[in-house]
Chain A
Amino acid sequence: MAHYEYDLRGMICPMPVIRTQDRIAELLDGDALEVLCSDPGALHDIPAWCRIHGHSVTNAVHEPEGLIRIQVLVHKP
């Protein structure tokens, strides 16, 4: 149950979703991934991607300076 961070700032949607998806493919059940992004679209798209793949978003915040942090708890069968 490791915790990872992934910096995707500067990328424009859907790239943050694609990178998050590919990173999660390498992780194990119970791992936590914190993604940092700058495109506000990610606040919508990453949680949507997580919902359809059965992972939980445990936190999603848009900080005042524009930084977006999304925490995902990975669920795998």
Chain B
Amino acid sequence: MVTKRKAVALISGGLDSMLAVRMVQEQGIEVEGINFYTGFCVEGHTHAIRNHDKKKKKRNNALWVAEQLGIKLHIIDVIEEYKDIVINPKHGYGAHLNPCLDCKGFMVRKAEEWRITNNFDFIITGEVVGQRPMSQTAKRMPIVMRESGAGNRLVRPLCARKLEATLPELEGWLDRSKLGEISGRSRKEQIALTRQWGIKDYAQPAGGCCFLTNQQYAAKLQDLWTSRGTREYELDDIMLLKVGRHIRPNADFKLIVCRDDGENNFATGYKNRFISLYANSHEGPLALFDGQASTENLKLAARIVARYGKGKHASVVTVQVSEPRESEGQELNVTPLDTTEMPREWIL
């Protein structure tokens, strides 16, 4: 009897990993998926936080893709281990704070550990040579094979014919002639494959698979590191960077002003960690205060909060300022900050 070979696939939820799995399934390989949760992933909660995203499908795309492919998906929490990748990337960052090359090496290494523990034969990813400037150039792809320890058990089915033959190809587990030779950023060939396999619905990630490739997000993360004087972070810190307007009037404090009810609800969960502010006299957003709570700073924060509420044109707005865990607090009567008093640089 011929042994059925098994592959573990890195599933991001995007189209490429979906097609890569499908391509090896076509060759009779049994596949299971693995998805790493770093805390920066675009998938998941973020859809749930903001109101305006309500119309969007709230599905977790990695799970959805797995279901479409009929494979099991294991979601792995790598939040702690991933910190070192973000804080000290050996190969540096891409356009923003995205350590793509180190990140790929890390994920493939974790997949290799999983492969060995679970007795699978090889690893597949949806990478396409020449698609991403940092991690997917022909020169850099071998780095991931080497540094992850996966070596030639790492197969990129979509562009396999553009690369050296891997172990599954040499052993005949995979027929190289039926693998892809896609390269570059054009999506033409991927779209042709969706037609060939009748795939009608798929996620189209804009940019990268995580927030670290997002310019505004990276600016907020950099500000967090600079203001704290350390690059250490907790999951809550990086979650909050996805919520609200982040306004830093000076080095001493930052204010997170929610933009809608969804964010207000989300931020309410953090009232036990931060001083919180909201207008009592007028409708308005909830804001979290992060920094040194001097009288002057709190007053300025209250004026900012007033500016974002319905009382922005009123002469006086009463703002409730509550210490962490306290529902009551002090009330400040302030004049909402005028637009001219708020320089653009304050908004991170």
Q: Which A residues are within 8 Å of any B CB, using their own CB?
A: 10, 12-15, 17-18, 21, 39-41, 44-45, 48-49, 51-53
Partner of B63, one of A10, A12, A48: A48
Nearest residue, chain A, Cβ from B239: A12
Q: Which residues of B contact A14 (CB under 8 A)?
A: 37, 41, 43-45, 60, 75
Q: Which residues of B (13-48) have their CB < 8 Å from a CB of A?
A: 37, 41, 43-45, 47-48
Nearest residue, chain B, Cβ from A45: B60
Main secondary structure of the interface of A (DSSP, over half): helix
CA A72 to CA B181, docked complex, whole Å = 43
- A13 engages B67 (CB within 8 Å): no
Q: A13-B48, A14-B37, A14-B44 are in contact. Are A52 and B67 (CB under 8 A)?
A: yes
Q: Which residues of B contact A12 (CB under 8 A)?
A: 44-45, 48, 239
Main secondary structure of the interface of B (DSSP, over half): mixed
Distance to closest chain A CB from B156 (angstroms)? 24
Distance to closest chain B CB from A4 (angstroms)? 20
Q: Which residues of B (190-204) have their CB < 8 Å from a CB of A?
A: none
Distance to closest chain B CB from A3 (angstroms)? 25
Interface residues on B, range: 20 to 34
Q: A17-B75, A21-B75, A53-B72 are in contact. Are A48 and B45 (CB under 8 A)?
A: no
Q: Which residues of B contact A10 (CB under 8 A)?
A: 269
CA A16 to CA B283, docked complex, whole Å = 33
CA A15 to CA B60, docked complex, whole Å = 12
Distance to closest chain B CB from A57 (angstroms)? 14
CA A10 to CA B235, docked complex, whole Å = 13
- B47 engages A41 (CB within 8 Å): yes
New contact pairs (16) apart from A12-B48, A41-B47, CB-CB < 8 Å: A12-B44, A12-B239, A13-B48, A13-B60, A15-B77, A17-B60, A18-B37, A21-B74, A39-B45, A41-B45, A41-B48, A45-B44, A45-B60, A48-B59, A49-B75, A52-B63
Can you give 24 A-B contacts (C-beta < 8 A)?
A: A13-B48, A14-B37, A14-B41, A14-B44, A17-B63, A18-B76, A18-B77, A21-B74, A21-B75, A39-B48, A40-B58, A41-B47, A44-B59, A44-B60, A45-B59, A45-B60, A45-B63, A48-B59, A48-B60, A48-B64, A52-B63, A52-B66, A52-B67, A52-B71
Partner of A41, one of B58, B64, B74: B58
Distance to closest chain B CB from A22 (angstroms)? 8
Q: Is B73 an interface residue (CB 8 A)?
A: yes
- B60 engages A51 (CB within 8 Å): no
Distance to closest chain A CB from B32 (angstroms)? 10
- Max count, chain A CB within 10 A of own CB: residue among B60, B71, B77: B60
Distance to closest chain A CB from B324 (angstroms)? 16
Distance to closest chain A CB from B239 (angstroms)? 7
